[in-house]
Structure 1
Amino acid sequence: MKLTYTGKTKDVYALEDGNYLLKFKDDVTGENGVFDPGANTVGLTIEGAGRAGLRLTKFFFEILKEKGIPTHYVDANIEEATMTVKPAELFGKGLEVICRYRADGSFLRRYGLYTEAGQALDAFVEVTLKDDGRQDPPISEDALDMLGILSKDEYKVLKGLTQQIGNVVKEELAKKGIELHDIKFEFGRVGENKQIVLIDEISGGNMRAYKDGEYIEPLDLEKMFQ
């Protein structure tokens, strides 16, 4: 294996067969020793966080596989905290795609003049650029096309997959009495035909979820699926 990328919460290794191995770490994002899944820096290390994130990721990726929804997932090893994935090409330097079901987080901060906390949203899709230095700015469909990051046709596919996958996660959480407010995904292009597929992970740190009106911390959410 050859280390090709060192990330905040996982490292990436190239395998001889052309696939990649993601090594989930116990480092989590946050500031001043406080866990914050939305932060852009590593704040602390929590023992078992890597395996917990991978366990939930494996759970959801295998459901998506059964439903024929395209992802980069090949398989996972919980004990070693690793996931094997197909190579994927990023859109530009990376996009984050959020599917929102309730007004919360940055949506509420930006649009608070017109909305209130918890207002229902109809699987609203929002795209942001992965750019820590500029606080991951939102970007429109037109700008994505004009800047050559992805075409309008690709945007339609991206939006459709985001809502489809978001609804799968929402339904699985609902089975445990958990309400999903929003979830963040990443996508890439795979293979010669440049198929758009879900990449990265689906873990507690990628979503805001509530039970009986109380916010569920990501690691607590992951324990509910053990």
Structure 2
Amino acid sequence: MVSIDYQGQTIEKQALRYQGKAKQVFQTNDPDILWVHYMDQATALNGKVKEMITGKGELNSAISHLLFDYLTQNGIENHYLTAVSKTDELVTTLDILPIEVVTRNYASGHFVSKFDVTPMQQLTPTVQEFYYKSDALDDPFINDSQILALGYANAVELAQLRQKSQDVNQLLRARFEKIGIHLVDFKLEFGRTRAGKVILADELSPDNMRLVDMRTGASLDKDVFRQHSGDVTIGYQDVLTRLQQED
């Protein structure tokens, strides 16, 4: 049995609870703690396209750990607890809300085609969008009243999702600007603790962000994989190196 000592307690990795597009989530002997493994897998079109990419899991894990630590230091409560290895971590068990919050600082992706605007047009004010988290339905857009009517979140939680996403955007955008990268847009997920508190979950990596080099305009995120334009790990490694140097 694989285990790690965490805060004086032996945490054992147990049965697989869930496998997503790029991560595996395992139960542990503590019901309040989950064990997450980042896989060497890239996906597109909501998992319809998959490819194994050596080293990607380690890069995503390292970037995510750095950014979660940064947010924690700046008062953003999240599920990340500690790293177990280069690809594994412990996180707080949450009841994940079926809502993805997308924040857009610049026009890109579907936003460009949907509204026929210029790519990388700065969006003022920053755009926030909600999507229902469902691969089977291709994560459809959902608005405030639909979320409330379907019971996916209450009014207080909905306001928290908006504010917390704004706070995260402000912090991450400043962090990336310091290392010469535009934070174009990104997706966040949230969950409820056992006490009912809504906190940040999932990961923070180029898998769920669009990152563009300020000087060259090059993509440093999963768009490289989506568009078959090169080796996705080169951009991920560049992002990690810059973040580590800034630390």
**TM-score scaled by structure 1?**
0.89
Separation (CA, whole Å) in 1 of partners of 2:212 and 2:101: 20
Unaligned runs of 5+ residues in structure 1 are 31-37
How large is the Cα RMSD of the aligned pairs?
1.5
TM-fit CA distance, 1:214: 2.3
TM-fit CA distance, 1:216: 2.0
- For the pair shown, which has the larger CA radius of gyration, 1 or 2? 2
Separation (CA, whole Å) in 2 of partners of 1:152 and 1:110: 28
The amino acid that maps onto 2:101 is V
Q: How does 1:41-56 map to 2 (within 5 A)?
A: 41-56=48-63
Unaligned runs of 5+ residues in structure 2 are 1-13, 223-232, 242-247
Q: Is the 8 A contact 2:71 2:77 kept in 1?
A: yes
TM-fit CA distance, 1:42: 4.8
**Partner of residue 173 from structure 1, selected from 173, 176, 184:** 176
The amino acid that maps onto 2:65 is K
3-state DSSP class of the match of 2:147?
A: helix
**TM-score scaled by structure 2?**
0.81
**Partner of residue 67 from structure 2, selected from 54, 60, 66:** 60
Q: Provide, for residues 24-64 of structure 1, a one-character-per-residue CA deviation record: whole Å limited to 9, x for no partner.
A: 1101113xxxxxxx643351111111110000000000011
Aligned residue number for residue 78 of structure 2: 71
Q: How does 1:34-113 map to 2 (within 5 A)?
A: 39-79=46-86, 81-91=87-97, 94-112=98-116
Per the alignment, do residues 220 and 96 of structure 1 end up closer, same or farther by CA in structure 2, a change over 3 Å counting?
A: farther
TM-fit CA distance, 1:172: 1.2
Q: More displaced, 115-124 or 44-53?
A: 115-124
Q: Is the 8 A contact 2:46 2:135 kept in 1?
A: no
Q: Is the 8 A contact 1:29 1:44 kept in 2?
A: yes
Q: Is the 8 A contact 2:105 2:122 kept in 1?
A: yes
Per the alignment, do residues 87 and 42 of structure 1 end up closer, same or farther by CA in structure 2, a change over 3 Å counting?
A: farther
Identity across aligned pairs (percent)? 27
Q: Provide, for residues 185-211 of structure 1, a one-character-per-residue CA deviation record: whole Å limited to 9, x for no partner.
A: 11111131x111110100111111111
Q: Provide, for residues 119-149 of structure 1, a one-character-per-residue CA deviation record: whole Å limited to 9, x for no partner.
A: 2112211110112232211111111011111
TM-fit CA distance, 1:65: 1.1
Separation (CA, whole Å) in 2 of partners of 1:216 and 1:179: 10
Aligned residue number for residue 22 of structure 2: 9
User: When the two structures are aligned, how many residues end up with a matched partner?
Assistant: 213
3-state DSSP class of the match of 1:205?
A: coil
